[in-house]
Amino acid sequence: MVPASARVVVIGGGVGGASVAYHLAQLGENDVVVLERAELTSGSTFHSAGLVGQLRADPTLTRMNTYSVELYRELEQGEHPVGWRESGGIKLASTPERLEEIRRQIGWARAYGLPLHEISPAEVAERFPLVDLDGVVGACYLESDGYLDPSQLCYSLAAGARAKGVRIAQRTRVVGIDVVAGRVRGVRTEDATIECEVVVDCGGMFAAEIARLAGVRVPLIPVAHQYAVTRAFRSADDPPLPTLRDPDLLVYYRQDVDGLVVGGYERNPAPWTADARTFDDVPADFNGKLLPEDWPRFEEIATNAQRRVPILADVGVRRMINGPEAFTPDNEFCLGETGVAGFFVAAGFCAHGIAGAGGIGRVMAEWIVDGRPSWDVSHMDVNRFGRAYESPSYTLARTVENYRTYYDIPYPDRERAAGRPLRRSPAYSWHVEHGAHFGEKAAWERVEWYEENSALAPDAFRPSGWAGRQWSPAVAAEHRATRERVALFDESSFAKIEISGPDAAELVQWTCDNDVARAVGDVTYTQLLNERGGIEADCTVTRLEENVFLAVTGTASGARDLAWWRRQARHRSADVRIADVTGATACFALWGPRARDVLQPLVPIDLGNDAFPFLTARDTTVGDVPARLQRVSFVGELGWEMYASTEYAARLWETVWAAGQPAGLVAGGYRAIESLRLEKGYRVWGSDVTAETTPYEAGLGFCVKADKPGGFCGDEALAAARAEGATRRLRAVVLDDPARVVLGAEPVRWDGTIVGRVTSGGYGYTVGASIAYAYLPVDAKPGTRVEVDVFGEWVAATVVKEPL
């Protein structure tokens, strides 16, 4: 029997749902019911391979996986063990490039406190005697990695939840979700209705279908994932084997009693139940089932597996497992509250949900009970996907490409090809004609540089290593033109959010730490904070009219910031309209010491300092084009952002371009902007500032108006932080060797102790230096000597005063 009401309804009885219920109960929330359409573990959980690797490129996911290991150790010692085997884990490098990646990952691990270390091929053979070392150039080993039985884990978590009062109803299918005035009110099963305040969609490969019942889009695709279980061929006296991954050969291994589990990520993935025209459509009776064996598609994995472990050629296969797993377009989880109040999602685990299950349950429970998780999971926020992912074909293409490249080396300049080009600036054709090298972000085609500008800096300094892989002397030329003359940039991809209505001023004042409800035409740089004082977004806000404000935020964070603002409006019952106007308005930036010389003859207003001061906006015309000018800069030079409706935008670009030629105007791309902003110390949200950093730590205390009438979200937490005093501060660091350019996440050492990690960095062409930013102890003031781990080598560096 299901209850007539519960505070929280969790849909899905796999490892995700069980973990969420378990952690809710641990936090004292026991008015919870779990609904499972069939039996516990009958979705993707029962056929998971069960590997638990901890280190990821992302610090939050690494912490989530590390927490999972701690939980699994604890459960293994309890009444309901999970089959946890802390076997250790080896990752092989079968190419020199992979060894570089491993050494970079060892640096990450140091920053995260994980004892990952490099081992020789000979040491690999000692730990995994079955291996053939042909082509192996190195490896790393983490002794706390391991594997477990996914079904036992699910049952153990469910038992722990039940023990604290959580109710679990199996063979109970959800057929509807009641949403009233944008808020969840109940869940309908085939036999009953449960009134509730919160619904958590932990439906695995069914999660998108469940979300559609609430009018929510969750972009995930079930993809067939195969692995083989060999016959027994090892003696019980043989020492246990660690898990083994060889990403260059696309394969992984773990011990299974006296045999092996062998799987991988093939280059020809098989999406299941979704195509270019229809959403996922998992059969209603697909419970506890597997897909037919697909040996032709597994052939590549089998061949590579035998190459690395030759005995497999002589060992029979006891069973082939072919089961669908839910993958997302960017290989990140989908977590958090959606645009429907009270409707949460924890899905899209991308075949590493067993490793992350403990951490997933923890952050979701905190989100529901405390309103915010203790770790920054913004890159996993279900709201990060924009409207492009409403398309079945685009979602499918991006997800399949993601699976196909799962084991590729994640170079920082790696660009994806699927679904491109989709979102294009009105000046896109001009960019193509002038040799633009494009990158992509949030489905936007963005100019990285113009190859024709390479001739302007033929002897430009090229960084060594990965930083110099996808590089052009054009970046240096565009950088220098901005500092010395003037450059034109297309920033149309920057997300633009319009907030209007009777309560618009009150809402923006509450959500921003700065005073943003100032005079019409004022532009304010500000942060949006959570209740803990962490930075949820970093943007500029312009007051266009008395009750109309425009926020400009990052390309990649636009969809999430839009959802965040709408959620704040809902919580405050604000009478506002919040709209994404990104595509309606183009934005071009004209920056450099000669920007005024170029723009003044084109406009009928005075651009002088007194008439048009910094951080103000004016409606005017540029040539024949109606436009709004905003005197702001992300490169630290004189200049304006020029906004125009998209039907005028191509003409605006052409007008400014023609007018700038006598002044030596150059068109520039985002790589130059990155280099320029590093020299000026401008922060980037998602790396330099996050939901776990406060404005005081980030050096943005000047934005905090602590005495603002009415206060603001997070003000109490900031007041406490100010009273206690910061223990760390974002600092600029210059490496002694300018050719050693950081990429992010590298550990920073001071007096032999790791004290922080790099948030962002790059090469500054004006200062001729390799620049890094890192949160360091407050005592690490300018002049302090530190070291940065760059691909396994400690490079001396100095903390410097900002801006460079």
Q: What is the pLDDT at residue 1?
A: 79
**AA identity, residue 45:** T
φ/ψ (deg, to 5) at 423: -95, 125
DSSP 770: E
pLDDT at 297: 95
Please give the Cα distance from 669 to 588 (Å, whole number). Answer: 11
- pLDDT tier for residue 777 given thresholds of 50, 70 and 90: very high
What tokens were used for 620?
């005017």
Q: What is the pLDDT of residue 108?
A: 86
Determine contact, residues 85/150, Cβ cutoff 8 Å.
Answer: no
**pLDDT tens by residue, 589-634:** 999 999 999 999 999 999 999 999 999 999 999 999 999 999 999 9
Is 285 considered catalytic here? Answer: no
Q: Which neighbouring-strand residues pair with 270?
A: 224
- Which helix (H) or strand (E) segment holds residue 366: the answer is helix 353-370
**What pLDDT sits at residue 261?**
97
pLDDT score of 761: 97
Q: Is 407 strand, coil or helix?
A: coil
The 10s digit of each residue's pLDDT in 173-231 is: 999 999 999 999 999 999 999 999 999 999 999 999 999 999 999 999 999 999 999 99
Q: Which of 521, 499, 495 is nearest to 508 (CA)?
A: 499
549-588 pLDDT, tens digit per residue, is: 999 999 999 999 999 999 999 999 999 999 999 999 999 9
Segment (H or E) for 653 = helix 646-660
How far is the C-alpha of 435 from the C-alpha of 430, rounded, in Å?
9
Q: Hey, what are 267's tokens?
A: 């280059």
Choice among 23, 225, 431, 479 that is catalytic = 225
Which pLDDT score is estimated for 111?
A: 87
- pLDDT above 90: residue 416: yes
Q: Say whether pLDDT at 57 is over 80.
A: no
Residues 6+ apart with CB under 8 A from 396: 221, 271, 274, 275, 276
Q: Is 96 exposed, middle or buried (0-12, 13-18, 19+ CB in 10 A)?
A: exposed
Question: Does residue 622 contact residue 642 with C-beta atoms inside 8 Å?
Answer: yes
DSSP 315: S
The tokens for 550 are 């425009």
Using the predicted structure, report yes or no on whether residue 33 has a pLDDT greater than 80.
yes
Which two three-digit tokens encode residue 236? 């019980």
| Cα distances (angstroms) measured from residue 38 to each of 151, 286, 289, 660 | 14, 9, 11, 68
Asked if 688 and 759 touch (Cβ cutoff 8 Å), the reply is yes
Give the three-state DSSP class for 706.
Answer: coil
The overall average pLDDT reported for the chain is: 96
pLDDT band (50, 70, 90) for residue 716 = very high
Say how many residues make up the chain. Answer: 804
DSSP letters along 287-304, please? SS--PPP-HHHHHHHHHH
Q: Of 538, 561, 715, 789, which one is the catalytic site residue?
A: 538
pLDDT of residue 412: 85
CA distances from 787 to 670, 707, 722, 747 (A): 28, 40, 29, 8
Active-site residue 538, yes or no? yes
Res. 236: pLDDT tops 90: no
pLDDT at 456 over 80: yes
Active-site residue, selected from the candidate residues 22, 67, 155, 252: 252
In the residue annotation, 314 being an active-site residue is answered as no
DSSP label at residue 88: -
Mean pLDDT, to the nearest integer, of 368-392?
95
Q: What percent of the chain has pLDDT over 70?
A: 100
Write the DSSP symbol of residue 702. Answer: G
